Amino acid sequence: MASVVNFSEGTLEELILTYETQSKAFTEEFFQQRETLEQEFQDLRKAWQKEKEEHSRTVKERNDEQAKVRQRDLETYQYDLAFRRTQNVDRYEYTKKILEKELEELRQNQEKQWTERENALAERERQFEEFRKKVEEFPKELEANIKRGKDSGRNIAHYQVKIKADLVDKEIEGQKNFYELRLQSLQETIQNQESRIQSLSKQLDSALKQVQDLAVKAIEGSSNLNSSQMLKEIALEQAKQLKSK
């Protein structure tokens, strides 16, 4: 019985010793792992802090660079805007002068043509009036010639006079028809020219308005990069239309 008790006590001591040994080993391992984790945490924290500082520096450098770029872009934009304003105003004045000059030349040429045609028409009317007077006076002259003529030559004279009168009547009628047709043609030409002048005036007003609108937009700072090209194209197109008419 005593041997059993001794065996049990020996076994218990071994178990306690084993437990203490394992507990010590576990404790050492725990502290070692904790130190390792704490070291890793410190390393991670240092790395994070370094990365944070690097990120902050990068953001600051980027912001500083963007601020410089924005300032440089603003200065460039203001310079380009001022330059475009000057160009647009100069182009507007130049285009306006060209269009006004072309319209004035067209009007002067038209007035010259009208004056020449009116003079020609007046000359033809004068000639027609002379023919008309001759026709009106011809019967009187014929009657006087008949009275002065001899009896033997009256029939011949009358026949000749009749032929001449017929020829004169036909000539006068032909001249009358010619002048009437010519007068009608001149009137139609004048009407067409007046319509053309009105159309060209409207085109000029429209072109000047478009050019002025673009110039004003550019001066107000709302024009885009193509406003100068648009202005040039409109002015050239209107000038071509005026020349082609």
Asked whether residue 225 carries a pLDDT value surpassing 50, the answer given is no
Using the predicted structure, report yes or no on whether residue 50 has a pLDDT greater than 80: yes
pLDDT at 2: 38
Residue 227 · residue 218 · CB < 8 Å: yes
Q: Is the pLDDT of residue 73 over 80?
A: yes
Q: List pLDDT tens digits, range 195-218.
A: 777 777 777 777 667 766 766 665
The model's pTM is 0.29
* CA 212 – CA 209 distance, rounded (Å): 5
**Two tokens, residue 184:** 């009608």
Q: Does residue 78 register a pLDDT over 80?
A: yes
How high is the pLDDT of residue 227? 52
In the predicted structure, residue 234 carries a pLDDT above the cut 80: no
Range of lowest pLDDT (91-100, 220-229, 234-243):
220-229
Please tell me the predicted confidence (pLDDT) of residue 19: 82
d(CA 10, CA 239): 123
Kindly list the domain boundaries of the chain, sorted by start residue.
Answer: 1-80
pLDDT at 238 over 70: no
User: So what's the pLDDT on residue 177?
Assistant: 77
Q: What is the mean pLDDT of residues 148-156?
A: 57
Query: From the centroid of its chain, how far is CA 110?
Result: 30
Average pLDDT, the chain: 75
Instruction: Give the residue-averaged pLDDT of 139-144.
Output: 70
